[in-house]
Amino acid sequence: MRYLVTSAEMKEYDGNTIERIGIPGMVLMERAALETFYALKEKGWALPGKRVLVIAGHGNNGGDGLALARLLCEAGSEVFVLAVGEEAKATDQWKSQRRILESYPVCFVKEWQEEAYDLIIDALFGVGLSRELSGVYEALIQKANEAPAIKVAMDVPSGLNCDDGRIMGCIFHADLTVTYGFEKRGLYLFPGCEAAGEVRLAKVGIDRHAFFEHTPSCFTLEDSLEELLPKRKKSGNKGTFGKALILAGDWNMAGAAVLCARACYRLGAGMVKVLTHPENRVILQGALPEALLGPINDLDEIRKSLDWCDLVCIGPGLGRSAEALAAFREILKAEMSVEKPLVIDADGLNLMTMEPDLMSAVKDLGSKGRTILLTPHPGELKRIWEALHPKEKPISMEELTCGLSSRGMEVAEKLSAIVVAKDARTFVCKAGEPVCMNLSGNSGMGTAGSGDVLAGIITAFLAQECHGETWNGKDAFLSACKAVRAHGLLGDKAANLLYEKAADLSEHQTGNLLGEHGVMAGDLIP
């Protein structure tokens, strides 16, 4: 587990380290500069004779830059410092670093010099930026971006919103960002993260001891795919690995049912039963002979299946027909114990927002302790959020995607559910838990059917957890976090395999099957 912090959290932990733990701010500053210097040296960028420009603000991030300027000077670089802003407003630590530099041959310049630099260091704002950049700052960052030099950001690229990844007017485009203490959320959120380049975390003395009363509100998992998979008993059988019921696949949408059910089997579920449109029966029998089958328009079959299963997934390619709606109502009104989780995906979410009584029933089940897990993409989350806030002004997609984790958490709280808010960065949200941001995966997963595979993976992970006697739903959140990361890692493996395959083909055969461009949802499953 790695924590991803907001600007406010980082400032709190920095303050706690200095004031409550007792490590002086100048020590932290020196360690930040030293760790950055080591990173530059490892890259071969801190060499004697290199021309370096340090662009420094007058806050403590600028002080970090001044300390780095000294270290680069000691290493034999020709160092220039462009300090931007009013020196009278500089922090005490910045002033101390400025006095130290008076004994070193570092050249301070007052404006951009049209000269060639080998390396440009951004130490303008750090995490403290709270306004759009314009005027002299915008012009300076533009010149730096245009310069043919290696670019390094200290802590975060100037112009990045540390909380949501927005670009605050303009942004410094770094080849490397060395961030201190903890990684900041914005370094991994689009669009700003694309300006961060390679991100390195430097341990400077700010660590978990600085949390005191406030643990960070966001984390990400680091486990490998093998580590993520649910533990299996060697003495187990198809019954002990979970029985999953999947309601999926309208007429002409058999593929969604196949992808979801196949992924559920591949990730370890012992038995999978698919209730689908009768026209899909032959397709599913051919594509997935391991699955049990039944018609979705038979309420008696649904009731029997609910007695049989350990959990339910409803929605992939299900459609919004009267039969689908009746099936959903049957699932929600059935006398099912709290031990049987309910995963609602795709058209299940659409039906829920179209029918207020379904939304109320889901909320009621969640409040009674049933594990409810929703998997909305931004459009679906927008509809759910607006259905839960009928008197408020509708939100734009830009508002929603910039605040995806907070909107996801609001829905999770109101429906007493786990919400997997899907996007280029997916967030797993549950009331009372820190948000989990997933960093695995790639653009190739932005393709039809990828969500159906994710629904199957989540169902498989839960199936192997929830059938035991000790299940109480408390582990469902972590299971969802692991499933989302596994989904992304499978996408990464699929893209890598396509790159390797393309390398073995001649140019005319390769076509567009190059890594991320060629990934299809079905590639994740094998």
Digit-coded pLDDT (tens) for 382-405: 999 999 999 999 999 999 999 999
Does any domain span residue 518?
no
Residue 289 has pLDDT above 60, yes or no: yes
Read off the pLDDT band of 505 (50, 70, 90). low
CA distance 435 to 282: 42
Do 164 and 124 fall into the same domain?
yes
**Are 401 and 467 members of one domain?**
yes
- As a whole number, mean pLDDT of residues 481-497 equals 97
Beta strands 51-56 and 107-109, pairing class: unpaired
- One domain, residues 201 and 299: no
- The reply to whether 256 and 197 lie within a common domain is no
Residue 470: left if φ>0, alpha if ψ -120 to 50, beta else—which one?
A: alpha
pLDDT band at 337 (very low <50, low <70, confident <90, very high): low
Q: What is the mean pLDDT of residues 446-474?
A: 88
pLDDT at 303: 94
The SS3 assignment for 399 reads: helix
Q: Are 410 and 382 in contact (CB under 8 A)?
A: no
Q: Which domain holds residue 24?
A: 2-219
Q: Same domain for 358 and 481?
A: yes
DSSP of 343-384, one letter per residue? EEETHHHHHHHH-HHHHHHHHHHHHTT--EEEE--HHHHHHH
139 and 287 inside one domain = no
pLDDT per residue as tens digits for the range 172-198: 999 999 999 999 999 999 999 999 999
Mean pLDDT computed over 20-44: 98
**Domain co-membership, 201 together with 262:** no
pLDDT category, 376, cuts 50, 70, 90? very high
What pLDDT score does 508 carry?
46
Is the pLDDT at 512 greater than 60? The verdict is no
Contacts of 400 (CB under 8 A, 6+ apart): 378, 381, 382, 385, 407
Is residue 152 pLDDT above 90, yes or no? yes
pLDDT digits (tens, 9 = 90+) for 48-103: 999 999 999 999 999 999 999 999 999 999 999 999 999 999 999 999 999 999 99
In a domain, 105, yes or no: yes
Cβ atoms of 244 and 217 within 8 Å: the answer is no
Number of domains within the chain: 2
- The mean pLDDT value for 493-504 works out to 83
Identify the domain boundary among 167, 189, 219. Answer: 219
* Residue 379: partners with Cβ closer than 8 Å, 6 or more residues away: 397
- Residue 474 has what pLDDT? 73
377-386 mean pLDDT: 98
The answer to whether residues 450 and 355 belong to one domain is yes
Check residue 130 and give its pLDDT.
Answer: 86
What is the DSSP secondary structure assignment for residue 207, as one 8-state letter? -
Tell me the CATH number at 378.
3.40.1190.20
How does pLDDT run across 111-136, given as a tens digit for each residue? 998 889 999 999 999 998 989 999 99
SS3 assignment for 32-63: HHHHHHHHHHHHCCCCCCCEEEEEECCCHHHH
| Beta-strand relationship, 2-5 and 218-220 | antiparallel
Confidence label for 257 from pLDDT (cuts 50, 70 and 90): very high
Residues 6+ apart with CB under 8 A from 146: none
**Whether residue 510 has pLDDT greater than 50:** no
Angle of the 404-415 helix axis to the 378-388 helix axis, nearest 10: 50
Same domain as 189, residue 257 = no
**Phi/psi of residue 184, nearest 5 degrees:** -95, 145
**Quick one: DSSP state of residue 195?**
G
Residues 254 and 371 in one domain: yes
Shared domain for 246 and 321, answered yes or no, is: yes
Residue 64 included in any domain: yes
Confirm whether 511 is domain-assigned: no
Q: 512-526 as b/e, with b when 16 or more CB fall inside 10 Å?
A: eebbbebbbbbbbbe
With a cut of 50, say whether residue 511 has pLDDT above it: no
Residue 404 domain flag: yes
Q: Are residues 357 and 490 in the same domain?
A: yes
Q: Is residue 23, in this structure, part of any structural domain at all?
A: yes
Q: Across all residues in the chain, what is the average pLDDT?
A: 94
CATH number, domain of 100, equals 3.40.50.10260
Per-residue model confidence (pLDDT) at position 500: 81
Q: Is the peptide bond before 191 cis (omega within 30 degrees of 0)?
A: yes
Residue 312: the pLDDT is 97
